[in-house]
């Protein structure tokens, strides 16, 4: 899985939103961007609420870059507290069909003060 995600990252599809504190990774999330959809894979935290901060930063970035849907995979109280809402399977499939085929360039995933470090195997 790690090699697959590193290759997806190299191709411009897999990305992470990370929170670093005092030189250490505090939390974040990762997933795959295709067309106008970000497919979230996993959130992780080592410091309370770090993954929430990363999610908020990711949402802001995705909105600025024209994304229209984040697939959270599961409905949880945690994700709902961050603004997620369930949609019907039919609606999801319709949106996916439309949005993954959006012609768009790979967005700018690096930000000032953050490095776009390569995957480490």
pTM of the model: 0.82
Q: Mind giving me the DSSP string for 59-96?
A: HHHHHHTT--EEE-SS--HHHHHTT-----HHHHHHHH
So what's the pLDDT on residue 77?
87
So what's the pLDDT on residue 105?
47
So what's the pLDDT on residue 114?
45
- Domains, the chain, in order of start with CATH, read 2-99 (3.40.630.70)
Question: Along the 121 residues of the chain, how does pLDDT read in single tens digits?
Answer: 889 999 999 998 999 999 999 999 999 999 999 989 999 999 999 999 999 999 999 999 998 888 889 998 888 888 888 888 999 999 999 999 989 887 554 555 555 344 455 565 4
Q: Compute φ and ψ for 78, nearest 5 degrees.
A: -60, -50
So what's the pLDDT on residue 111?
52
So what's the pLDDT on residue 113?
41
So what's the pLDDT on residue 4?
92
So what's the pLDDT on residue 23?
93
Beta-sheet strand order (sheet of 14-21): 14-21, 24-34, 37-45, 69-71
So what's the pLDDT on residue 21?
94
């Amino acid at each position: 899985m790690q090699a697959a995600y590193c290759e997806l990252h190299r191709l411009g599809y897999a990305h992470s939103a990370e929170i670093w504190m005092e030189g250490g990774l505090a939390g974040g999330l990762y997933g795959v961007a295709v067309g106008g959809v970000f497919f979230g894979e996993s959130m992780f935290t080592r410091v309370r609420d770090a993954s929430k901060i990363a999610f908020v930063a990711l949402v802001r970035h995705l909105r600025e870059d024209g994304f229209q849907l984040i697939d959270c995979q599961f409905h949880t109280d945690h994700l709902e507290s961050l603004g997620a809402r369930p949609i019907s399977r039919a609606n999801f499939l319709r949106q996916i069909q439309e949005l993954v085929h959006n012609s768009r360039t790979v967005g700018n995933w690096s930000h000032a003060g953050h490095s776009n470090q390569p995957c480490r195997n």
